[in-house]
Structure 1
Amino acid sequence: MKPIYESIIPYSNISFKVESYNAESCCMSAGWHIHPEYEIVYVKNGSGILRIGDKTHYYKNGVLVFLAGNIPHSDFGNKQYENSQEVVIQFSKEFVDEKLNLFPELGCIKKLIQTSKHVLIFHDSVKSYLSNSFEHFSDLSNQGKLINLLSILNYLSTTNDFHKLIHFGLPKEFREKETFRLKNIFEYINNNYNHKIEIKDIAIKVGLTPNSFSRFFKKMTNRTFIDFLNEFRIRKAVDSLNERDMTISEVMFLSGFSSPSYFSKQFIKYQGTTPSNYVKKAKLL
């Protein structure tokens, strides 16, 4: 089965993405999917199955796995216990090339990242040693999260206590042309989300007719383009509400919406509350 292309939407004020989930707020299932970002997943406890590429791995007491981008996989976590916890860290090739590569001292970390193309499953002793670092990510500032990530990568780069799930290359699940086209679409959205975006305009940018573009986007992401665009804009609106001293109307226009009623409807859809209630709750924190 061909995997769905998952778009990783980063927050505007941090150069990588980290999310923590528990038994009640579990990670929304993406099914069999693929994305270009590197991914580190820590599962605290419980048993489950890792399905990565054409390999299957069973775990009994949680798992710590590191895989490179563009490797198809299914969801990793489980809800077996009340204190279940899953931490997912994702970072792009640009994060490695434009940031980590600036520091020659990080040679071991860069070697580890290269090795992740084999999908690294670390021994329980490594998972146990790093458990506190993973489980307290959500308590840290953005600066603290970056330092914590580098500390985790540093430790992982110094241990041989892992096994490689994949020893040879995987067959390419996507044609390079499709992947390149989808990347251009996401870049266009990121650069123009605060302006009016019409399907016919972005279709021309990637060499498709509007109808072909809509079919292509749905095939690759299992979502309509409008649904994806609205969620992306709401994520940017949330970032602005959290970081800037702006009115809701200013945030609405800045994130690409022009209708207050439509903005509120989409905000409720993706955040579960109205913009005004979100602001009120944020001020109480």
Structure 2
Amino acid sequence: MKPILESINVAVNTSIRIKTYTNDDHCESAGWHIHPEYELVYVKNGSGVLNISSKKRMYSDGILVFLAGSIPHADFGNHDYPDNLEVVIQFKKDFLEEKLKMFPELGKVKELIKKSKQVLIFDPGLHKALSHDFKKFVYLDNQGKLINLLSILDRISREDSYETLFDTFTTDSFKSNDVKRLEEIFEYVNLNYAKDLAIGEISSKLGLTPNSFCRFFKKMTQSTFTNFVNEFRINKALEFFNESNASIAEVMFRCGFNDPSYFSRQFKKYQGTSPNSYLKAKYRGLLI
């Protein structure tokens, strides 16, 4: 079965994506999927199965696993216990190549990240020792999250307490031309969502006709390109609302919408409420 390419939306003004999930607010299943981002996953407790590429591995009391991008895998979490917690940390290749390279002191961390191509599964002792650090993410701001992540990477880079799922692994073998093409589309949207995203322009960049592009995108994502872009923009709108006191009009334009009525309809479609109601709840302190 071919893996579906998952679009990872790294938030505004951040270089990493960190999501925490409980049994009440669990990670929505992505099924068998692939994405170019590196992924560090902490599961507090419970049992499950790691399905990564051609390998399967059982775990019985939570798991801490680190894998490079472009390795097909299924979801890692479970719902055995009501107090379970899953923390999913994802970052792009440029986090390593453009940001971490500026600090020669982080040599061990950079080596650890390179080893993640073999998929690293850390032993139970280290998993337990780092539980407090992973639980902290939910309370931290963006700066705190980055510092906490670097602290975790520093700790695990100094340990040999892990097993590798693969002796060697060539990630490009899983990146078909279709997956590479879809990655180009996602990156194009990520860089240009505030502009007018004309299907004619992006399809031309990929060497497709507009009709072929639309069929290709629907086949690969089970969504139309328009719906994908609208949902992406609404997620950006949430980030802008939550990080500033920007007005609805300001956020609308920053996200690439030009029609207030259309923006309001799309916001309600994906968030279940209007932008105005969302902001009223925010200022009343009703949003978590």
CA contact (8 A) 1:7 1:221 kept: no
Give the deviation of 1:82 after TM superposition.
Answer: 0.8
Q: Residue 246 of structure 2 aligns to a residue in which SS?
A: coil
Q: Which residue is equivalent to 2:15? A: 15
Give the deviation of 1:150 after TM superposition.
Answer: 0.1
CA contact (8 A) 1:252 1:263 kept: yes
Q: Distance in 2 between matches of 1:250 and 1:106?
A: 39
Q: Distance in 1 between matches of 2:219 and 2:174?
A: 13
| Residue 43 of structure 1 pairs with residue 65 of structure 2 | no
Q: Residue 250 of structure 2 aligns to a residue in which SS?
A: helix
CA contact (8 A) 1:2 1:173 kept: no
CA contact (8 A) 1:5 1:35 kept: yes
Q: Distance in 1 between matches of 2:180 and 2:269?
A: 30
Q: Which residue is equivalent to 1:167? A: 167
Q: Which residue is equivalent to 1:244? A: 244
CA contact (8 A) 2:117 2:168 kept: no
Give the deviation of 1:179 after TM superposition.
Answer: 4.0
Structure 1 consecutive aligned stretches of length 4 or more whose deviation exceeds 4 Å: none
| 1:43-75 deviations in Å (ceiling 9; x for gaps) | 001111110000001111010000000000000
Number of aligned positions between the proteins: 284
Residues 17-166 of structure 1 mapped to structure 2, 5 A cutoff: 17-166=17-166
Q: Residue 99 of structure 1 aligns to a residue in which SS?
A: helix
Q: Distance in 1 between matches of 2:280 and 2:264?
A: 15
CA contact (8 A) 1:53 1:170 kept: no
Q: Residue 57 of structure 2 aligns to a residue in which SS?
A: strand
Give the deviation of 1:281 after TM superposition.
Answer: 2.1
Greater CA deviation, 94-103 or 197-206? 197-206
Q: Distance in 1 between matches of 2:124 and 2:273?
A: 40
Q: Distance in 1 between matches of 2:5 and 2:211?
A: 19
Structure 2 gaps of 5+ residues are none
Q: Distance in 2 between matches of 1:272 and 1:146?
A: 31
| Letter in structure 1 aligned against 2:85 | Q
Q: Distance in 1 between matches of 2:32 and 2:122?
A: 22
Give the deviation of 1:273 after TM superposition.
Answer: 2.2
Give the deviation of 1:191 after TM superposition.
Answer: 2.9
TM-score normalised to structure 2 length: 0.94
Structure 1 gaps of 5+ residues are none
Give the deviation of 1:258 after TM superposition.
Answer: 2.4
Q: Which residue is equivalent to 2:215? A: 215
| 1:112-166 deviations in Å (ceiling 9; x for gaps) | 0011001111111011000011111010111110000000000110111111111
CA contact (8 A) 2:248 2:275 kept: yes
Give the deviation of 1:186 after TM superposition.
Answer: 2.3
Q: Distance in 1 between matches of 2:45 and 2:132?
A: 13
Q: Which residue is equivalent to 2:258? A: 258
Q: Distance in 1 between matches of 2:146 and 2:250?
A: 30
Greater CA deviation, 101-110 or 224-233? 224-233
Give the deviation of 1:237 after TM superposition.
Answer: 1.2
| Letter in structure 2 aligned against 1:255 | C
Give the deviation of 1:88 after TM superposition.
Answer: 0.1
Q: Distance in 2 between matches of 1:223 and 1:110?
A: 36
| Letter in structure 1 aligned against 2:135 | E
| 1:223-267 deviations in Å (ceiling 9; x for gaps) | 321121011111221122123332212211221122323212221
Greater CA deviation, 116-125 or 235-244? 235-244
Q: Distance in 1 between matches of 2:61 and 2:248?
A: 45
Give the deviation of 1:170 after TM superposition.
Answer: 5.1
TM-score normalised to structure 1 length: 0.95
Q: Distance in 2 between matches of 1:215 and 1:63?
A: 39
| Letter in structure 1 aligned against 2:66 | F
Q: Distance in 2 between matches of 1:4 and 1:202?
A: 21
Q: Residue 110 of structure 1 aligns to a residue in which SS?
A: helix
| 1:70-113 deviations in Å (ceiling 9; x for gaps) | 00000010111111110000001001111101111100001100
Q: Which residue is equivalent to 1:191? A: 191
Q: Identity of aligned pairs, percent?
A: 54
